[in-house]
Amino acid sequence: MKRAKVTAKDLINESILILKKHKIKEAKLNAELIMSHCMNGDRIDLYENYNKYLTKIEQNLFRSLIRRRIKKEPVQYIIGKTEFMGLKFKVNKNVLIPRPDTETLVEFAIKYSLENKINSKYRILDYGTGSGNIIISIAKYSPNLQYYAIDLSREALILAKENAKSNRVDKDIFFVQSNGFSSFNSRFKFDMIVSNPPYIPTSVIRKLPEEIKSFEPLISLDGGEDGLKVIKDIVSNAYRHLKKNGVCLIEIGYEQSESVEKMIKEVAKYKDIKFLKDLAGIKRVVFFKKK
């Protein structure tokens, strides 16, 4: 007996029911992203291919990827890509999936550098670059400056370099494997230091959704006992690596603003401390200047 032909639409509809049964949020979006990936296209192309018959290989691939999503693997890791600041980024299990919240820091950094650069010697450092989303976006939208990015993870840097290449800014960004500022001589000063460091207290990680705690790299999440370990490293050392009036922008966690403000004041090397709020009105980024 000949088996009925299966279209993309048939499989998407079938999987929406399965994903919903397993309490996966945004089931339609997930199914469509996975289908577009199986058909080697973007979601926008899918609408033209909705009624296309799938090969057996495409059907099997789609079903196996849906099974991974049911096991709570984030869809971005399954399809190996995401978007940030309107740009495309590859992601894998070695890097945090860029979050829309981080666009608050990036938008401010772009605006500030465009308004304050004096010449092309304006230097920006991204501490903990991960997929490279922050420094690549800044290099794209505030071009012709000097960009540096560090990460402790060699695997993350490999991916960040790939992303810089696909976004055509690889010649502009200098990537360095470094534990904090250890690879930089303090005579080499920056105009701006940006960071989205790991800031989740160790004890909170096990309470996070399965998607995060079982799939995203611990090194990207774990901020030590109080969540402030890496933030403390940045605050207590940034002044050595900043020019006079150089600025620092750090993304912080929910309810960390008071401790972070206290920490910055205690170092006694900074001025003009302020917080930027995200779309939900939460203090998401701290800004301060070197005296």
Ligand X SMILES: C[S@@+](CC[C@H](N)C(=O)[O-])C[C@H]1O[C@@H](n2cnc3c(N)ncnc32)[C@H](O)[C@@H]1O
Would you say 150 and 117 are in contact if contact means Cβ atoms under 8 Å apart?
A: no
What is the residue whose two structure tokens read 């020019």? 243
Spatial distance between the Cα atoms of 79 and 172, rounded to a whole number of angstroms = 28
Rounded alpha-carbon distances, angstroms, from residue 130 to 101, 106, 198, 215: 15, 14, 11, 15
Question: 190: part of which helix (H) or strand (E)?
Answer: strand 190-195
| List 18, 39, 152, 276, residue binding ligand X (CB under 6 A) | 152
Lay out the site mask for ligand X across 61-100 (x = CB under 6 A, - = otherwise).
----------------------------------xx-x--
Q: Are 288 and 239 within 8 A, CB to CB?
A: no
Taking the CA atoms of the chain, what radius of gyration do you get in angstroms?
Answer: 21
Judged by CB, which is closer to ligand X: 102, or 167?
102
Applying CB under 6 A, which part among 33-41, 52-60, 61-69, 145-153 lies near ligand X? 145-153
C-alpha 197/C-alpha 252 separation (Å) is: 8
Residues recorded for the chain:
291
d(CA 24, CA 21): 8
Subset of residues 223 to 252 that bind ligand X, contact rule: CB under 6 A: 230
- Among 36, 129, 137, 163, the residue binding ligand X under the rule CB under 6 A is 129
- Of these, 219, 231, 260, 286, which contacts ligand X (CB under 6 A)? 219
- Of 61 and 282, the one with the shorter C-beta distance to ligand X is 282
Residue 103 interacts with ligand X (CB under 6 A): yes or no = no
By CB under 6 A, tell whether 158 contacts ligand X: no
User: What is the closest distance, in whole angstroms, from the C-beta atom of residue 285 to ligand X in the complex?
Assistant: 11
**Shortest distance in whole angstroms from residue 29 CB to ligand X:** 21
Minimum gap (Å) between residue 183 Cβ and ligand X: 10
SS3 90: strand
104 binding ligand X? (CB under 6 A): no
Q: Is 216 in the site for ligand X (CB under 6 A)?
A: no
197 or 227: whose CB is closer to ligand X? 197
Residue 146's SS3 state is strand
Give 134 or 169: the residue with its C-beta nearer to ligand X: 134
| CA separation for the pair 241, 244 (Å, rounded) | 10
How many residues touch ligand X (CB under 6 A)? 23
Dihedral sign for Cα 201, 206, 209, 211, please.
Answer: positive
- Considering the complex, what minimum distance in angstroms separates the CB of residue 180 from ligand X? 5
Where does this chain bind ligand X (CB under 6 A)?
Answer: 95-96, 98, 102, 128-131, 133-134, 150-153, 156, 179-180, 196-198, 219-220, 230
